[in-house]
Amino acid sequence: MTETADAIVVGGGLAGLVAATELTDAGKRVILVEQEGEQSLGGQAFWSFGGVFLVDSPEQRRLGIRDSHDLAWQDWLGSAGFDRDEDHWPKRWAQAYVAFAAGEKRDWLRAMGHRIFPIVGWAERGGRGAMEHGNSVPRFHVTWGTGPGLVEPFERRAREAAAKGLLSFRFRHRVDSLIVTNRVVEGVSGSVLEPTSVARGQSSSRNEIGDFEFRAQAVIVASGGIGGNHDLVRQNWPRRLGTPPKRMVSGVPAHVDGRMIGITEAAGGRIINHDRMWHYVEGVQNWDPIWPGHGIRILPGPSSLWFDARGNRLPAHLYPGTDTLGQLQHIMGTGFDYSWFVLTQSIVKKEFALSGSEQNPDLTSKSWLATARRATNKGAPAPVEAFKSKGADFVVRDNLADLVAAMNTLAGSDLLSHDHVKAQIEARDREIANPFTKDVQVIGLHNARRYIGDRLIRTAKPHRILDPAHGPLIAVRLNILTRKTLGGFETDLDARVFGNGGAIVPGLYAVGEAAGFGGGGMHGYRSLEGTFLGGCLFSGRVAGRAAAKAVG
């Protein structure tokens, strides 16, 4: 039997939840179709650090950060590098999104109970010109409660709508095709998958036990990106970033499979900017994996020394936390798909954060006491210490000779020369006591410590790497970690999808990562961070409101 509703939302991640709840708030009936079990509601956002991009917030002002819409737009344009005809709608989405982040976004979230950790993070610091990539000021606002804290208000609203009979959850329902009549999208059909008891985020079975068909005037595709499908990542890998890595770790669960993107294309939707993506270079293998090939991204503070596989220090401005894609391009240009951090216990303690809700139990559980220990503790946070002792990519030794020997053993090669690495570390160490240093990374350390947030919890007091008082020495092998899809379905400012002929496909909307976070790629080539969750919030809201009007 075919079920009907006013709108169908495909995907129960953040973007889908936002779109669905905007529709039900307007009194519309919605079917939310999700291939995973109920336990995975919230998709990737649940696992996220919950960092959101806000501009000129009270949190920034309290920390002495002067931000403005104009500065943020300057930074966005410098990072996006829009340079294609297809960037017409993405750029308009970017304009609307930056205005949202500088305007209504914080109050809208706050009214739903969302709260922010008071120290604002400084991601993607750039390091070249004022008109090039990077955040001129700290703007990464971590959700109090991390990813689950951001999902919570939308899940609550969705469950309230379900209790009122406005929203029907259809878990373990996988969409296999869109129903299209005379170019108009009228519904979805697919397979009912067998029930699953796997824990949240784990891979579930794809065994089919039935089929279904749902019809509605509006279908909103909120199915996420391609980061869990390494074949698709390699297929779409841009030449400008070198050859695709042979080895990658997965920063996303297996359900980020990209399958629905092909299905929506087959129904007439147009994908643009498929070669734009956002993968990290500081991935470490999770010693306690949840999904296949599970990698965790280190959110690095600015002090670690960064070496390529042959032991050459990465050039200016490629220091930790400055320019993700610049680093990726450089590393792939070395002919190897990994690189190394070398640091001290003092640095790991203050500067290593791991991206992911489960890696930050203090923030995720909203414990002020546990979170305050970040500033006062003798050791690094417990999850970081656990990686240090159990992580396959971590090496800890008391002296450099032993460290380099162990790094070679880990890599299974003799690419690293102790003398070469030592000479570069000693040269950098000579610059530490020198206030007029010419080492740009050390200049960056002094700059970072002028920001109280960094001084408190993100940047170690400058010290010599080879000073035993700050030991032991630590090396971390850094892998490429797949994460975000920056391209996606081209849409107008109502999130309505364009077809290949340039006309809107009636009835079809796309949001979140499936729509390149808005319009088909509002980030252009690069992100300022915190803009992915933000793009899901914004595009979900836009689509939900527009579809509610359209379905009458």
Ligand X SMILES: Cc1cc2nc3c(=O)[nH]c(=O)nc-3n(C[C@H](O)[C@H](O)[C@H](O)COP(=O)(O)OP(=O)(O)OC[C@H]3O[C@@H](n4cnc5c(N)ncnc54)[C@H](O)[C@@H]3O)c2cc1C
- Residue 516 binds to ligand X (criterion: CB under 6 A): no
Q: Both tokens of residue 183?
A: 């170019």
- Residue 134 binds to ligand X (criterion: CB under 6 A): no
115, 109 contact by CB (below 8 A): no
Q: What x/- string results for residues 335 through 374 when contact with ligand X is judged by CB under 6 A?
A: --------------------xx------------------
3-state helix, strand, coil split of the chain in percent (to 5) is 35, 20, 40
Smallest distance, ligand X to C-beta of residue 364, A: 12
45: left (phi over 0), alpha (psi -120 to 50) or beta: alpha
- Separation of alpha carbons 12 and 15, rounded Å: 8
Binding span for ligand X by CB under 6 A among 81-89, 154-162, 330-338, 532-540: 532-540
- Residue 175 binds to ligand X (criterion: CB under 6 A): yes
Q: Residue 234's closest CA among 262, 275, 203, 264?
A: 275
Q: From the CB of residue 240, how many other CB atoms can be counted at a distance below 10 Å? A: 10
Smallest distance, ligand X to C-beta of residue 44, A: 4
Q: What x/- string results for residues 382 through 421 when contact with ligand X is judged by CB under 6 A?
A: ----------------------------------------
460, 432 contact by CB (below 8 A): no
Smallest distance, ligand X to C-beta of residue 252, A: 5
- Residue 43 binds to ligand X (criterion: CB under 6 A): yes
Task: Identify the residue whose tokens are 């993107």.
Answer: 261
Smallest distance, ligand X to C-beta of residue 53, A: 7
Q: Both tokens of residue 154?
A: 């939308």
Going by DSSP bridges, is the β-strand pair 208-215/184-193 parallel, antiparallel, or unpaired? antiparallel
If the CB atoms of residues 76 and 532 are measured against ligand X, the closer one turns out to be: 532
The one among 532, 541, 542, 547 contacting ligand X by CB under 6 A: 532
If the CB atoms of residues 296 and 347 are measured against ligand X, the closer one turns out to be: 296
Q: What is the DSSP string of 111-148?
A: HTT--B-SSPB------S-TTSSS-SS--EEEBTTHHH
**Taken in order 269, 14, 384, 135, is the CA torsion positive or negative?**
positive
The one among 343, 425, 536, 546 contacting ligand X by CB under 6 A: 536
- Residue 487 binds to ligand X (criterion: CB under 6 A): no
Q: Give residues 99-118 in contact with ligand X (rule: CB under 6 A).
A: none
Smallest distance, ligand X to C-beta of residue 466, A: 34
- Residue 488 binds to ligand X (criterion: CB under 6 A): no
- Residue 174 binds to ligand X (criterion: CB under 6 A): yes
Q: How far are the Cα atoms of 92, 330, 500, 511 from residue 82, in angstroms, in the given order?
A: 11, 21, 21, 20
Smallest distance, ligand X to C-beta of residue 494, A: 18
Binding span for ligand X by CB under 6 A among 49-57, 75-83, 89-97, 434-442: 49-57
Q: Residue 472's closest CA among 349, 345, 382?
A: 345
Binding span for ligand X by CB under 6 A among 66-74, 111-119, 528-536, 543-551: 528-536
Q: What is the DSSP string of 172-241?
A: TEEEEEEEEETTEEEEEEEEEEPP--PPTTS-----EEEEEEEE-SEEEE----STT-HHHHHHT--GGG
Q: By CB under 6 A, how many residues form the interface with ligand X?
A: 41
Binding span for ligand X by CB under 6 A among 14-22, 102-110, 287-295, 372-380: 14-22
If the CB atoms of residues 9 and 465 are measured against ligand X, the closer one turns out to be: 9
Going by DSSP bridges, is the β-strand pair 394-397/167-171 parallel, antiparallel, or unpaired? unpaired
- Residue 255 binds to ligand X (criterion: CB under 6 A): yes
Smallest distance, ligand X to C-beta of residue 177, A: 9
- Residue 45 binds to ligand X (criterion: CB under 6 A): yes
248, 443 contact by CB (below 8 A): no
The one among 21, 24, 35, 364 contacting ligand X by CB under 6 A: 35
- Residue 76 binds to ligand X (criterion: CB under 6 A): no
Q: Give residues 286-315 in contact with ligand X (rule: CB under 6 A).
A: none
- Residue 6 binds to ligand X (criterion: CB under 6 A): no
- Residue 221 binds to ligand X (criterion: CB under 6 A): no
Smallest distance, ligand X to C-beta of residue 473, A: 28
Terminal CA-CA length for the chain: 25
- Residue 531 binds to ligand X (criterion: CB under 6 A): yes
- Residue 151 binds to ligand X (criterion: CB under 6 A): no
- Residue 533 binds to ligand X (criterion: CB under 6 A): yes
The one among 109, 120, 220, 222 contacting ligand X by CB under 6 A: 222
If the CB atoms of residues 507 and 540 are measured against ligand X, the closer one turns out to be: 540
- Residue 187 binds to ligand X (criterion: CB under 6 A): no
Residues 6+ apart with CB under 8 A from 106: 54, 57, 58, 116
If the CB atoms of residues 127 and 356 are measured against ligand X, the closer one turns out to be: 356
Q: Both tokens of residue 191?
A: 């397979």
Q: What is the DSSP string of 251-302?
A: SS-TT---HHHHHHHHTTB-EE-TT-EEEEEEEEE-SS-SSTTBEEEEE--S
- Separation of alpha carbons 32 and 27, rounded Å: 15
The one among 5, 6, 8, 12 contacting ligand X by CB under 6 A: 12
Smallest distance, ligand X to C-beta of residue 148, A: 12
- Separation of alpha carbons 529 and 124, rounded Å: 7
- Residue 172 binds to ligand X (criterion: CB under 6 A): no
- Residue 252 binds to ligand X (criterion: CB under 6 A): yes
- Separation of alpha carbons 476 and 339, rounded Å: 8
Q: Which residues make up the interface to ligand X (CB under 6 A)?
A: 10-16, 33-36, 43-45, 47-51, 174-175, 222-224, 251-252, 255-256, 259-260, 355-356, 484, 512-513, 530-534, 536
